[in-house]
A and B are shown apart, each in its own frame.
Chain A
Amino acid sequence: MQSIATVYFLTLRSLREAVRNPAQEAGNVLIPLFFFAVTVGSIGSIAADAFGIDNFTGFQVPVAILAAASSISASAGLGTITDIQRGYFDKLLLTPAPRSAIVFGRIAADGVRTVAITAFIVGVGLIFGTGFDTGVPGLLVLLVGSFGFGMAYSGFNAAIALRTGSPQAAAAGGLLLFPLIFLSTAFAPKDVFADWLEVLATINPITYVLEAQRSLIIEGWNGFDILWGATATLGFSVASFTLTFLALRWRTS
């Protein structure tokens, strides 16, 4: 009970911080949208012929969502470090609130921010004619998923922040997740990949998150893809939160 209240209050605090720093939030959404526009603009017209993707704009929407999530979580890692450097983190640790709940408050806030940015990016996609094949229920599924991997991403960055306390490491940590996007089926389906890339894309959990999101947007209900996406997100979260927890234990012992 006390844990839930703690997470709730600290989530509110982090969201307030985000709202008061609109420039940073704008960066989180504009950079992925820039890549989105450039990718679609450069290879969108040949995608149908080259690898049989008719709705390449819709195909790219999840890439923008994941890129935005990774940039959100990097900024949250920095927030944690600022708290540590200012001594505010100590002030929170000096309350009787459960310590893992203190860290989780910011992670949950990142989940919420990822949901908001997902909705925004889907909206931009709709304007550019991506459509949304599974309608409102599908959108809800997508948003729930976004909440999940937004938190998973954030957990990794929180772990790095807690373990290193260094802004440089936190910035690098945000970049760590970026290559995972490139090593997935972000720009083309797997069947056109070289063998080595196909192997990497197959073992990369991001691939399954992407595919699940894509199925909702451009394909229609596909239980198999959704299940795999959910499993990948869950596995990613377990790994991420374990690291966060270990890093917190290290910092407070």
Chain B
Amino acid sequence: MSAIWAQGLTKHFDEVRAVDGIDLDIAPGTIFGFLGQNGSGKTTTIRMLTTLLRPTAGSARVDGLDIRDDARAVRRSIGVALQEAGLDDVQTGRELLTLQARLFGMGGARRRGRVDELLAIVDLEDAADRAIGTYSGGMKRRLDLAAALVHRPDILFLDEPTTGLDPISREAIWRYVTRLSAEDGITVFLTTQYLEEADRLAHDLAIIDEGRIISRGSPAEMKARIGTDVVTVQVPAADALDRAAEVVGDVAGVERVQIADGAAVVYVPDGARAVAGIVLALDDAGIEVGDVAISRPSLDDVFLEATGHHLQVEEPQPAEGGAA
């Protein structure tokens, strides 16, 4: 049985096709990465799968349960940390976790033990009895993660768990997620707009753009699918870009050329050998060449190949992203 399964899952807000018919089939125990830029439909997908939002069309099962017909049972099986850590400034961290545990029907010693254990796991023991309003952004994220884990869910949804965090806090969250998957066999559905995060954590990955899944597979598979090296040639004169692409396209061995962010992105099996020919051809055509870089394909190249544009990451204001 799939941990998460969806078919034709769709959400339209009036004219906006936020999620436009996506299919999912995620095996239990997987860390599934859902990579996409701002507004691509990641949060909307999570809100539907976690029963907060009714789909416009399509169906989905989480832990084998229908998200419409068995919504309450779904909520029992899942833990969710939404994009904006949903916390209450007035309660203390311990009170929040305790209330959360109570609402999941956990009582007495079992509840107290679990709350203590989670506070230790996310390194919040010292701050446990302080009002959450005094926590830093990183501490809030960690508490939010703990709250999602109170009832030992089989499936964990994390919506951009590290966006806006400093590198140390980010590293801490990555460590917890990896450990949850490896030690407890939890299925993790994690959205992100960071290529590095998807690359590091995800066993299985889907790239979403404008509400549609445009590429599926493990990060390694996706990169292998490109099958070539990537030579990126900066062309300082913007009006020469199209002509540059044309010229480079005729160079022997070049499979494909794309234009993105003022550069010609050239897919070619052996980048090191081809680069001299590419630069010479441009020179012959009288096109000025800027920096040239050769690389193995990255997830960014996968993204670019599938969408025709680079992944745009918008960093939120650092106000919420305090220290760990």
B-binding residues in A (CB < 8 A)? 2, 5-6, 9-10, 13, 16-17, 20-21, 83, 86-97, 252-253
Please state if B82 and A91 are interface contacts (CB–CB under 8 Å): yes
Interface centre among B78, B84, B95, B103 (most CB of A within 10 A): B103
Residues of chain B within 8 A (CB-CB) of A94 are 50-52, 75, 78, 80
Please state if B84 and A87 are interface contacts (CB–CB under 8 Å): yes
Other A-B contacts than A94-B52, A96-B76, 19 sampled, CB-CB below 8 A, are: A6-B103, A9-B103, A13-B88, A13-B91, A13-B99, A16-B95, A86-B88, A86-B89, A87-B84, A87-B87, A90-B86, A91-B86, A91-B147, A94-B51, A94-B75, A94-B80, A95-B103, A96-B72, A252-B52
Cα distance A88–B140 in the bound complex, in angstroms: 12
How does the 8 Å CB contact mask read for B195-233 relative to A, with 1 for contact and 0 for none?
A: 000000000000000000000000000000000000000
Q: Is the C-beta of B152 less than 8 angstroms from some C-beta in chain A?
A: no
Q: Is the C-beta of B100 less than 8 angstroms from some C-beta in chain A?
A: yes
Can you list 23 A-B contacts with CB-CB less than 8 angstroms, sorted by A residue number? A9-B99, A9-B102, A13-B95, A13-B99, A16-B90, A17-B91, A83-B88, A87-B86, A87-B87, A88-B86, A89-B86, A90-B86, A91-B80, A91-B100, A91-B147, A94-B50, A94-B52, A94-B78, A96-B73, A96-B103, A96-B105, A97-B103, A253-B54
Cα distance A2–B82 in the bound complex, in angstroms: 25
Q: Interface extent on B, as a size class? A: 20 to 34
Residues of chain A within 8 A (CB-CB) of B127 are none
Q: Is the C-beta of B176 less than 8 angstroms from some C-beta in chain A?
A: no
Q: Is the C-beta of B172 less than 8 angstroms from some C-beta in chain A?
A: no
Q: Is the C-beta of B85 less than 8 angstroms from some C-beta in chain A?
A: yes
Please state if A96 and B75 are interface contacts (CB–CB under 8 Å): yes
Nearest-Cβ distance from residue A187 to partner chain B, whole angstroms:
37
- Nearest chain B residue, comparing its CB with the CB of A21: B90
> Would A95 and B100 be within 8 Å (CB), given that A87-B82, A253-B54 are in contact?
yes
Please state if B87 and A88 are interface contacts (CB–CB under 8 Å): yes
Residues of chain A within 8 A (CB-CB) of B100 are 91, 95
Nearest-Cβ distance from residue A92 to partner chain B, whole angstroms:
7
Contact of B104 (CB < 8 Å), options: A16, A21, A88, A95: A95
Closest 5 interchain pairs by CB? A87-B86, A91-B86, A95-B103, A97-B103, A87-B84
Nearest-Cβ distance from residue B75 to partner chain A, whole angstroms:
5
Nearest-Cβ distance from residue B6 to partner chain A, whole angstroms:
18
Nearest-Cβ distance from residue A102 to partner chain B, whole angstroms:
8
A-binding residues in B (CB < 8 A)? 50-52, 54, 72-73, 75-76, 78, 80, 82, 84-91, 95, 99-100, 102-105, 131, 147
Residues of chain B within 8 A (CB-CB) of A2 are 105
Cα distance A91–B47 in the bound complex, in angstroms: 12
Cα distance A89–B88 in the bound complex, in angstroms: 9
Residues of chain B within 8 A (CB-CB) of A16 are 90-91, 95
> Would A92 and B103 be within 8 Å (CB), given that A16-B95, A87-B82, A253-B54 are in contact?
yes
Nearest-Cβ distance from residue B17 to partner chain A, whole angstroms:
20
Interface centre among B73, B78, B87, B102 (most CB of A within 10 A): B102
Interface centre among B84, B86, B95 (most CB of A within 10 A): B86
Nearest-Cβ distance from residue A76 to partner chain B, whole angstroms:
13
Nearest-Cβ distance from residue A240 to partner chain B, whole angstroms:
24
Please state if B88 and A88 are interface contacts (CB–CB under 8 Å): yes
Cα distance A5–B131 in the bound complex, in angstroms: 24
Cα distance A17–B91 in the bound complex, in angstroms: 7
Cα distance A79–B272 in the bound complex, in angstroms: 62
Cα distance A90–B43 in the bound complex, in angstroms: 13
Nearest-Cβ distance from residue B253 to partner chain A, whole angstroms:
52
Nearest-Cβ distance from residue A108 to partner chain B, whole angstroms:
15
Residues of chain A within 8 A (CB-CB) of B82 are 87, 90-91
Nearest-Cβ distance from residue A199 to partner chain B, whole angstroms:
45
Residues of chain B within 8 A (CB-CB) of A253 are 54
Cα distance A2–B104 in the bound complex, in angstroms: 10
Nearest-Cβ distance from residue A17 to partner chain B, whole angstroms:
5
Residues of chain A within 8 A (CB-CB) of B80 are 91, 94
- Nearest chain B residue, comparing its CB with the CB of A99: B72
- Nearest chain A residue, comparing its CB with the CB of B89: A86
Residues of chain A within 8 A (CB-CB) of B103 are 6, 9, 92, 95-97
Cα distance A96–B85 in the bound complex, in angstroms: 19
Residues of chain B within 8 A (CB-CB) of A10 are 99
Nearest-Cβ distance from residue B206 to partner chain A, whole angstroms:
23
Contact of B90 (CB < 8 Å), options: A17, A87, A91, A92: A17
Cα distance A93–B78 in the bound complex, in angstroms: 12
Please state if B75 and A86 are interface contacts (CB–CB under 8 Å): no
Nearest-Cβ distance from residue B93 to partner chain A, whole angstroms:
13
Nearest-Cβ distance from residue A208 to partner chain B, whole angstroms:
36
Cα distance A95–B76 in the bound complex, in angstroms: 7
